[in-house]
Every structure is written in C-alpha cells, then in structure tokens.
Amino acid sequence: MEEKNKIRVLYTIPNFNTAGSGKVVYDLVKGLDKDKFEVEIACRHDRGAFFKEVQSLNVPIHLIETTCAYRPYASLLVRLRPIIKFFKENNYDIIHSWHYSSDWTEVLAARLASVKWLYTKKAMSWGNRHWKIRSFLANFIITINDEMRQYFPNKKNQALIPLGIDTTYYDPRYLTKPTSRYENFHIITVANLVPVKGIEVLIQAIKESEDPKIRLTVLGDDTNEYGVHLKTLCDELNLTHQVAFLGKRPDVRPYIADSDLYVIPTLDKGRKEGMPMALVEAMSMGIPVLGSAISGINFVLKDFKNLLFEAGNVSALSQAIKRMQSRSFEERQKLGSELRAYVLNNYGYDTFIEAHESLYTDLVKKN
C-alpha cells in the first residue's frame, strides 16, 4: 500500500440528538493524534443540542445518509452508488460505524469502495440475520463488554475495547458536597427514559423502604410515554414529594456531585446495556453506585459484585439501598474513592484513544 502522511478516518453515526455514542465519537475525534490521523464525520442531520459541541472540533461534518433500504434487492447496488462514490472520492482509509442498527448496506458500500470498515457493538441486541451479515462483512468488530464475543465466535478480527471516559472532566473535585445536607439520602439516576431502563423498579424500591428521608432525582427526557407513566406511578404511590424529574441536562456533574448514591436499575430484557457510561461517570466522580446484575453493568462492576442486585427485584434493590444508607459518610467516601480509582485504571481516556489509534494503524497496514 502506498504510504500516506495521515490515516483518513470517517466516523458514521445517525445523529447527535443524544450525547451517548455521540459523546464517544466526540472524544475519539478530539483525542486522536492529529499528526497521524485526519478525521471526518458523516451523520444524517444537524439537529440536537450536542451537534454544536461536535462542530467546535473543527473537522469536516458531512450531512449525508450512508445507509439505504435493503429492498428491493434487485436495485440495491444502484441505490448504493452515491454512497460508494462518496467513500471513494474522499479517499478514506477506514470507516468506523457507530450506527446502532443491524444495517449492512453501509459496510457493503465500503467494501465495494475498497475501504476498511469496522463497527463498535454497542448494545446486547442480536439474533436476526442482518446482524450476522453485517458482522461477516466487517473488517473488524469492537466489543465493549466481555459477553459480546459469543455473538460472533468465529470472527478472528475482533477486540474488546471498553469505552473510555475523561476522568479529568468527571472528577469528584468538580463540586464540593455541602456537609450540612445529610438529613436526607439523595439517590440519582441518569438515563434515556425508555421502559427497559427499569426506573419504576427504583421508584417502587423507594416506596418499599418507607423512608421519607430518601430523595430521588431522575435525569432524562420525561416528556415521552414512559416518562409520563413514571410520574403517574409516583403520584399513585404518593411519592411526588420524594421524586424529582428534572428532564435532560447537558451537564450532569452537579447533580451527581450532590448525590449520595447512583442507581442503574435496567431490566434483563430487550437491548439491555452494552457499557453504561452514566454509571462509569458516577463512579469517576467518586459516588457509590448500585446496578442490576445484567450484561454491561456486571462488566463494569465485575470487581464490585456486592454492588449488584437482581434485575427487576424491587425488594432486593430496596435492601441494597438500605445497606448503602446505613454506611457511614466515611465508608461511602472510601467506596467512592475505590470506584474512581477503578475507573482510572480500567476506563481511562488515554487508554481508550491509544487502543483505537493502534487498531486503525494495524488495519491500514493489512492488505
């Protein structure tokens, strides 16, 4: 292969409506060595509050659709021509997809354009033939927890690269917790509010505790059907004075810093969790956490099994909260420090960037 000064990488992602994967792409673009990599982004539209943050990175952003409908199969190659042309004309070396779906038209276009294509498996969805086609065509697959390998046991070109976090941004020194507030025990959860997140389990666990000192803050878009359901549940359980729905917040750090416990109660069904970054963010900020014992969460907390509870079990979560609440302030501080140290050692930003730089370099070298 002819040597180039820089490796050209294109990140494809549906949108930046939510910070989730968009934040990871942002971190990758920001962190890659500019002397070695030339980065561009392709997404469907420029909507979403986070899009402006991505624009501030000053890299080319193409508002283009890089996938298309499979059917009718007879005309698929014709419909792929504009995408193939786009990939070829921009002379990309690598296309790294952050699309959440099982679509394989993008990888087919990349293959026909002779561009290396890889994707990061973000959620625990699997089973249909389209995922298998996508994975077969991929030059490489990145997994983010140790259970995902079972999906493609015969794929040699794969690696576990856990998502990384900017631990200087999510730092417990960001805000000092006021010492005069300890008459209440403040729980927080941050989520894209959809039914699989199991927030009702957390609300019911607080009800079962029968402790008026417990306060819950829920961060996430609560204007959808599920959000309305959760508010109705709080009303029915007479918990409206204990549970606050604050909607989406661009910066969750002040709310995490002002809490005593972070809880992620995702249910063991549906897409579940790939690697829940809100959980890692709370750990990075030195906050004690509890999580349901499902894929993704048990990966992040694999060395803290005592912080896991059975998914969907209201009583188990209620008891876990009581145990955490019974710890002294000093004991909870010590646990928070241990969780932050664990994030620093396992999910640091520099390690995450270096792993991708090494992978991209190796892929380009291969014929």
pLDDT digits (tens, 9 = 90+) for 74-130: 999 999 999 999 999 999 999 999 998 899 999 999 999 999 999 999 888 887 899
- Do 3 and 87 form a contact (C-beta atoms < 8 A)? no
pLDDT digits (tens, 9 = 90+) for 316-329: 999 999 999 999 99
pLDDT at 172: 86
Give the pairing type, strands 7-12 and 185-190: unpaired
**185-346 homologous superfamily:** Glycogen Phosphorylase B; (3.40.50.2000)
CA–CA gap between residue 339 and residue 322 (Å, rounded):
20
Query: What does pTM read for this prediction?
Result: 0.89
Query: Percentage of the chain with pLDDT > 70?
Result: 95
* 36: helix, strand or coil: coil
pLDDT at 335: 98
* Mean local confidence (pLDDT), 222-232: 96
Model confidence at 10, pLDDT cuts 50, 70, 90, reads: very high
Element (H, E) at 278: helix 277-284
All CATH 3.40.50.2000 domain ranges of the chain, comma separated, are 7-164+348-365, 185-346
Place of tokens 């209201």: 314
Instruction: Determine the distance from the C-alpha atom of residue 114 to the mean position of all C-alpha atoms in its chain, rounded to a whole number.
Output: 30
pLDDT at 3: 47
Q: How many residues belong to the chain?
A: 367
Select 7-164+348-365's CATH number: 1.10.287.110, 3.40.50.300, 3.40.50.2000, 3.40.50.2300.
Answer: 3.40.50.2000
CA–CA gap between residue 163 and residue 142 (Å, rounded):
10
If you ran DSSP here, which 8-state letter would residue 307 be given? G
CA–CA gap between residue 189 and residue 205 (Å, rounded):
14
CA–CA gap between residue 169 and residue 167 (Å, rounded):
5
